[in-house]
Each structure stands twice: as structure tokens, then as C-alpha cells.
């Protein structure tokens, strides 16, 4: 059976003149969306955040295919990676890493989602890793009245990085008017649906653009998404629930106070090469 949160309308956060984001924190959904920690639906047109640490989770930047610009990602491993519109950058921060992400200079704004997904406690001390997924490696699917891009479904991530330690699904879905899409959700999974455009019903709840709803399944079930006289565009992010505590210090999120202190000490020696 599926359990849903209340419909959530996000706040709009701005950072200077070049960054804005609608924010979807886990606390707004009663932590029902485990393993998702946070989603920012952002627009960024210039350098905003200096090099900063992550630890304990996976940070995913998913750029919409219609984003006018891409990102350059630099990290403490010495990687310099190009994230093109329609592509994705995945960093499994684990024991700790530093990174900086900036739009390609002079090429306009970037639009997309930054997604934080928790890591199982047993893997939070793993070596960190990061990679970029080009747009042509994101799979496309279609059915009666709908099409989608599935950025990841399960634990396989191609040849870029070892398999994820717990399964995740990230999908962007377009539905035409009067369309219905049923999506299977395994028992023990949680997640979030964000309505990017249009109007849609999720189960018994109606959502307008920018609203979101959290969900969790205690047995195998299906989400039913339906549209009326207008179509809709939706982001779905879900995965196996970890059911573990989160101790946070800024962008460090670990499963215990001890591991958080250890991560804070480790990242003090990290930097992003010039």
C-alpha cells in the first residue's frame, strides 16, 4: 500500500542575482521521502557557491534538456567534467569530497534539479567518486500518452562508477492531456514527485505546477498519475528506504555523530585544485 504526504508548495530561495531555487527538504514531507534528503529546482546564471564539501550522500545534478547552458564541475580528485543540457553529474560523496559547479562562462543560465540521496551507513565511509553522464546515455521510454527520460533505475551506472549501494530511480515524465501513467513502486521504497509543468492528479491529490508530494510503499504498489484537459511534466525521485538517522553539519550528512565528526576532520584537508 502507498502512503502519501500532504501536497507541498515550495519556498523560493535566492542567492545574489544569479541563483534561485525552489526547495523541497525532507522535513516538509515528514521524512516520508527517505532516501531522498533534499531537492532544489534551480536556475543559475553565474558562479554562486565557492568550492565546498559534501559527505555521506550522493549529490546529483540533473540538467533539463532545454537548459540553455551546461555546467563545469571541478572536484578534489582533480576532475574537470562537462555537464551538458540533458546530462547528469553524480557524485557519491561517501567519506568526503570537495567540489565546485559553475555554468559555462558566457553561455547563459542553467536549469535543472540538484538531488541529495542518502547513502547506507555501511557505505558512508567508502571512497568518494564522481562522474558525468552524457545526454545520449539517458534512456528514453514511451507509452500511450506519455514519454520519459530515466536517468537511473536500480543500481547500475554503466561503466562510470561501481554500482550504487542501494537502488534509486530518477525519471522525468511528460504526459499529454487526458493521459494516465501507472508506475510500480516496490515495497520498502520512498520518494517524491515534483510537478514541473501543468496540472496532474497523483492518487487522490491534485497538484499544480511547482507542487510536490511524498510517498512510501509498505507493499508492492503502483503510483497512478493522471492529467485532465492539460498535459503535465513531472520529476520522480525514489529509492529503497534506509530508515537511518541523519546528523547534519551543513552539506555533511552522516548516520551518527561520531561519523559526522570524522567527516568534518577529513574534509579539512581537502581542496579543489586550481
pLDDT for the residue 155: 86
CA 221 – CA 235 distance, rounded (Å): 19
pLDDT for the residue 49: 85
Percent of the chain with pLDDT over 90: 82
Phi, psi of 160, rounded to the nearest 5 degrees? -75, -35
Pair 225, 183: CB distance under 8 Å: yes
**Peptide bond before 207: cis, by omega within 30 degrees of 0?**
no
Query: Is the residue at 208 inside a domain?
Result: yes
Number of domains within the chain = 1
Closest CA to 166 of 61, 58, 26: 58
Query: Is the residue at 272 inside a domain?
Result: no
pLDDT for the residue 122: 96
Domain containing 184 equals 2-267
**212 CB contacts (<8 Å, ≥6 apart)?**
7, 8, 10, 24, 29, 39, 192, 193, 194, 195
Query: Is the residue at 273 inside a domain?
Result: no
Pair 272, 103: CB distance under 8 Å: no
* Banded model confidence at residue 216, pLDDT cuts 50, 70, 90: very high
Query: Is the residue at 274 inside a domain?
Result: no
pLDDT beyond 90 at 46: no
CA 177 – CA 59 distance, rounded (Å): 33
HEC letters along 132-173? EECHHHCEEEEECCEEEEEEEEECCCCCCCCCCCCCEEEEEE
Mean pLDDT of the chain, nearest integer = 94
CATH number of the CATH domain containing 50: 2.60.120.10
Query: Is the residue at 197 inside a domain?
Result: yes
Amino acid at each position: 500500500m502507498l502512503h502519501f504526504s500532504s501536497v507541498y508548495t515550495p519556498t523560493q530561495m535566492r542567492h545574489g542575482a544569479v541563483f534561485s531555487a525552489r526547495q523541497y527538504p525532507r522535513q516538509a514531507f515528514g521524512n516520508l521521502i527517505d532516501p531522498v534528503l533534499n531537492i532544489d529546482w534551480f536556475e543559475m546564471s553565474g558562479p554562486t557557491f565557492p568550492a565546498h564539501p559534501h559527505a555521506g550522500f550522493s549529490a546529483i545534478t540533473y540538467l533539463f534538456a532545454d537548459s540553455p547552458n551546461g555546467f563545469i564541475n571541478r572536484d578534489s580528485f582533480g576532475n574537470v567534467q562537462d555537464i551538458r543540457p540533458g546530462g547528469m553529474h553524480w557524485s557519491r560523496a561517501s567519506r568526503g569530497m570537495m567540489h565546485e559547479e559553475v555554468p559555462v562562462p558566457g553561455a547563459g543560465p542553467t536549469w535543472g534539479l540538484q538531488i541529495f540521496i542518502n547513502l547506507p551507513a555501511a557505505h558512508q565511509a567508502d571512497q568518494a567518486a564522481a562522474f558525468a553522464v552524457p545526454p545520449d546515455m539517458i534512456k528514453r521510454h514511451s507509452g500511450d500518452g506519455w514519454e520519459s527520460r530515466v536517468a537511473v533505475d536500480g543500481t547500475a551506472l554503466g561503466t562510470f562508477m561501481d554500482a550504487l549501494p542501494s537502488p534509486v530511480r530518477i525519471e522525468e515524465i511528460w504526459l499529454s492531456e487526458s493521459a494516465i501513467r501507472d508506475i510500480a513502486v516496490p515495497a520498502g521504497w520512498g520518494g517524491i514527485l515534483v510537478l514541473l509543468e501543468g496540472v496532474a492528479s497523483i492518487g487522490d491529490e491534485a497538484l499544480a505546477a511547482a507542487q510536490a508530494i511524498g510517498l512510501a510503499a509498505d507493499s508492492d504498489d503502483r503510483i497512478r498519475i493522471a492529467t485532465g484537459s492539460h498535459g503535465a511534466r513531472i520529476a520522480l525521485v525514489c529509492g529503497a528506504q534506509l530508515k537511518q538517522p541523519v546528523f547534519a553539519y551543513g552539506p555533511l550528512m552522516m548516520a551518527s555523530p561520531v561519523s559526522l565528526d570524522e567527516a568534518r576532520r577529513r574534509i579539512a584537508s581537502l581542496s579543489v585544485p586550481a
